[in-house]
Structure 1
Amino acid sequence: MKVPHAHQEVMLQVAGLDLELEALSSHLAELQTGAHLDALRTNLFAASSRMLEQQTQLENLQQELRKLEADIELVDKRIELDKQRLSSTSSSKDAEGISSELRSLTARKSNLEDQELEIMEKVEQVAALVEAESETRTSLSIELADAEAALAGDITKLASKISIVKTDRAAKFSILTEEAAALFTKKASRGIPVAALKGRDCDACRIGLTSSAYEDVIATPADEIATCPNCQAILVR
């Protein structure tokens, strides 16, 4: 089959562009999965989960603290009331009963205040954990957002590159005659359609030609198609 040598060079260029498109498309598909961001997403989810648990613990402690404060307030009111009763009673029996109750209330208040102090310390500790985890989560959120923005930019650039290469490929392919284009397409469906002859080696299968095969290829007129006897790729000399 006769194909001008210049068109054979074009076929070689188109084959090169097809390989480039395959590599670019594979890279684009890989980027679009966002798999390399999974570690960041996992860390962010873990930080969010920890912070939620700590916030729940903090809220429970704060609720417990409010209950203790309310109990202490009730005891204070009862103590104040008993003191008033004690100062106004003239009965020694009543005074003894009130005094006994005051001692119990004082002990109760002391116990509640000890519990309050313990809970306040826990609140402070857990609040610090929540704050630290919140800072970690914010940092990870920013890092993930930056990574996602960078990924979107890379995808846009790569998609643009693919579009440019496709346009270049279409322009070069349109130069070929109908017969040459059909031959290229047929061979491309089976493997690498066109390759350069480098020394005695086919650049498609990377297998060296025998002496007789090499002589046949070299003897083929420049405007006629020569093929690799091993992989059937068109050899451009």
Structure 2
Amino acid sequence: MKADPAVQKRLLDLAEVDAELNRATHRRRTLPELAEIVTAETELRTRKDAVVAVETTLADLDRDAKRLDSEIDQVRAREERDRTLLNSADAKRSVDLQHELETLARRRGILEDESLELMERREAVEMDVQHARAQDGLAQEKLADAQRRRDEAFADLETIEARSGDRRKTVLAGLPTDLVTLYERIRSKGGTGAALLKARRCGACRLELDRIAMSKLKEAARDEVARCEECGAILVRTAESGL
């Protein structure tokens, strides 16, 4: 294949644009914010589970507190009833009522002690709830910050990709179809489509060409499209090539 040396040199502009696009694609896949977001999402789920757990414990304590309050009220109501009956009871009935009042008082004392202990536990759990909610809030802020930085990075990359895409179209417009087809075929295999031959070294694979390869390039016409024998890239020859 033949192409004017000036046209071949324009392949370097195309390769530069494609390298920039490749860097943008690589950066889009490997943004540190992406890993941060995954970690932050995991932490947030853990924090939310912790909130649910302590809130459930608090709700259970509140339910137990209501039950104890109800039992205490029932005992007090029973005591009040027995005291009223005691005023008009005969001697035998008075003894029974007095015994029942003593039993009720002991029962109320036990329930009140349980209620006091439960209140103390509730205070501790309520502090746990506040702490868990605070940690959940911090986790949400951390996730939101990572997402914001990711979105800003993506916006920058979109600008780079749009600018490079426009530049690529401009460069392609001045290149012959057959040369572009060869360039794209090389690039589709994961390599660099074209590179500068500088000081006997291929700019794509960075390997120095041996004497035989350099000799062939010296003998080749200037408009001959040369390629690196190692990586297959189109070698653009200039005064810097060492020929």
User: For 1:232 and 1:53, how far apart are their aligned partners in 2?
Assistant: 62
Shift of 1:140: 0.7
- Structure 2 unaligned residues grouped into runs of 5+: 238-243
User: For 2:227 and 2:75, how far apart are their aligned partners in 1?
Assistant: 102
User: For 1:5 and 1:219, how far apart are their aligned partners in 2?
Assistant: 15
Alpha-carbon contact 2:33-2:147 (below 8 Å) kept: no
User: For 2:129 and 2:223, how far apart are their aligned partners in 1?
Assistant: 77
State TM-score, norm by structure 1.
Answer: 0.90
User: For 2:80 and 2:188, how far apart are their aligned partners in 1?
Assistant: 97
User: For 2:76 and 2:232, how far apart are their aligned partners in 1?
Assistant: 100
- Counterpart for residue 123 of structure 2: 124
**Which amino acid is the alignment partner of residue 184 of structure 2?**
T
* Residue 45 in structure 1 maps to residue 45 in structure 2: yes
In the superposition, relative to structure 1, how do residues 222 and 81 fare at CA in structure 2: closer, same or farther (>3 Å)? Answer: same
- CA offsets 1:31-83 (integer angstroms, 9 cap, x no match): 59934311111111111111111111111111111111111111112212222
**Which amino acid is the alignment partner of residue 163 of structure 1?**
A
Shift of 1:88: 3.4
Q: Secondary structure at the match of 1:34?
A: helix
Alpha-carbon contact 2:28-2:157 (below 8 Å) kept: yes
* Residue 28 in structure 1 maps to residue 43 in structure 2: no
- Counterpart for residue 69 of structure 1: 69
- Counterpart for residue 12 of structure 1: 12
Alpha-carbon contact 2:33-2:150 (below 8 Å) kept: no
* Residue 96 in structure 1 maps to residue 89 in structure 2: no
Alpha-carbon contact 1:28-1:159 (below 8 Å) kept: no
**Which amino acid is the alignment partner of residue 73 of structure 2?**
E
Compute the RMSD of aligned alpha carbons.
2.2
Q: Percent identity?
A: 29
Alpha-carbon contact 1:217-1:227 (below 8 Å) kept: no
- CA offsets 1:94-138 (integer angstroms, 9 cap, x no match): 221111111111101101101111111111111111111011101
State TM-score, norm by structure 2.
Answer: 0.88
In the superposition, relative to structure 1, how do residues 82 and 230 fare at CA in structure 2: closer, same or farther (>3 Å)? Answer: closer
User: For 1:73 and 1:195, how far apart are their aligned partners in 2?
Assistant: 91
- Structure 1 unaligned residues grouped into runs of 5+: none
